[in-house]
Amino acid sequence: MTLQDAKLQVSGLNSFYGPAHILFDVGLEVGAGEVVALLGRNGAGKSTTFRSIVGLVNQRRGQIVFEGHDVSDKPTHAIVRGGLGYVPEERRIFTDLTVEENLEVGRQPERRNAPRWTPEKLFSLFPNLGEMRGRPGGRMSGGEQQMLTIARTLMGNPSLILLDEPSEGLSPKIVEQMASAILTMKQEGVSILVSEQNLHFARLISDRAYIIERGRICFSGSMAELDARPDIRDAYLAV
């Protein structure tokens, strides 16, 4: 994948929390219209990778190129305003605001190279939210809050979105709805990097996968290539 083809290109990423070295020369790419999974166990470095990409880890070095622009030294707000959406593992909704009010908080102008999202379009993507548009966020289930967090991020009209553990703690029915929504986002033209422990969920949505273990990328390939390597799956993904 050339720099021109890549929506996101990360190379030589090293990150630190104080004296602790967490990421070691992490490199990954996401192409236009791709869904790419970053797989790994708890504590492998998935969330730190995402936080580093969006500038939330202060001590980091390496190169992060988004849509052809080097954003390695840019602050988080500038990266997000440039069209990179981030949905953290913690569902950071405004519990006192209604669903519609939460969506309005995320509204940003249209972007030239990204699909435009409106509340009605998002209620079509997440029908559960459409049925509770006037409900406060604090009176929603965990799965509904996860949908709202993603929908609010989409109101920023990102061209690429980072989803950190979107299936964690969700019921099987909601997991299937989440997979369907992610595939629809892809069809709409959103590129997606998703971190996951759930290999079944990753298979449903992903074109390619990376595996991270102890802060190092130890596998890169298609989902078919990963399925053909039970030794890799057992070594790095089995509980």
Domain ranges of the chain: 6-236
Per-residue pLDDT, averaged over 83-106, amounts to 92
Per-residue pLDDT, averaged over 52-65, amounts to 95
Q: Does residue 125 surpass a pLDDT of 70?
A: yes
What residues pair up with 29 in beta bridges, in sequence order? 9
Alpha helices in 82-198 (DSSP H): 99-105, 119-125, 127-130, 142-154, 172-188
| pLDDT, tens digit, 9 for 90 and up, residues 150-204 | 999 999 999 999 999 999 888 888 899 999 999 999 999 999 999 999 999 999 9
Q: CATH homologous superfamily for 6-236?
A: P-loop containing nucleotide triphosphate hydrolases (3.40.50.300)
Q: Does residue 5 surpass a pLDDT of 80?
A: no
Task: Give the pLDDT score at 239.
Answer: 65
**Separation between Cα atoms, residue 223 and residue 211, nearest integer Å:** 11
**Separation between Cα atoms, residue 15 and residue 21, nearest integer Å:** 6
Contacts of 15 (CB under 8 A, 6+ apart): 21, 22, 23, 26, 48, 49, 52, 57, 59, 60, 215
| pLDDT, tens digit, 9 for 90 and up, residues 6-55 | 899 999 999 999 999 999 999 999 999 999 999 999 999 999 999 999 99
Amino acid identity, position 232: I
Per-residue pLDDT, averaged over 207-220, amounts to 97
**Cβ 139 vs Cβ 147: under 8 Å:** no
Q: What are phi and psi of 154, to 5 degrees?
A: -65, -25
Q: Does residue 2 surpass a pLDDT of 60?
A: no
Given the DSSP bridges, would you call strands 35-39 and 191-196 parallel, antiparallel or unpaired?
parallel
